[in-house]
Amino acid sequence: MSAVTGYSRQPLHTDGAHLAEPPRYVVLRCLDPGERSCPTIIGTLDWKAITATKPYALYRAGWRVRPRPYQSFQAKIVDEASTHNRIRYDPICMRPERGGEIAKNATIQILDMYTYLHVHYWKKGEFLILDNWLVLHGRGDGGDQAISRCLERRAYGAV
d(CA 62, CA 75): 7
Question: Sheet harboring 115-120: ordered strands across?
Answer: 115-120, 40-45, 135-139
d(CA 89, CA 52): 20
List per-residue pLDDT tens for the chain, 159 residues long: 888 888 889 999 999 999 888 999 999 999 999 999 999 999 999 999 999 999 988 988 889 998 766 688 999 999 887 678 899 999 999 999 888 888 889 999 999 999 999 999 999 999 999 999 999 999 999 988 899 999 999 999 865
Judged by DSSP in three states, 53 sits in helix
d(CA 131, CA 137): 10
d(CA 114, CA 148): 33
Q: CA gyration radius for the chain?
A: 16
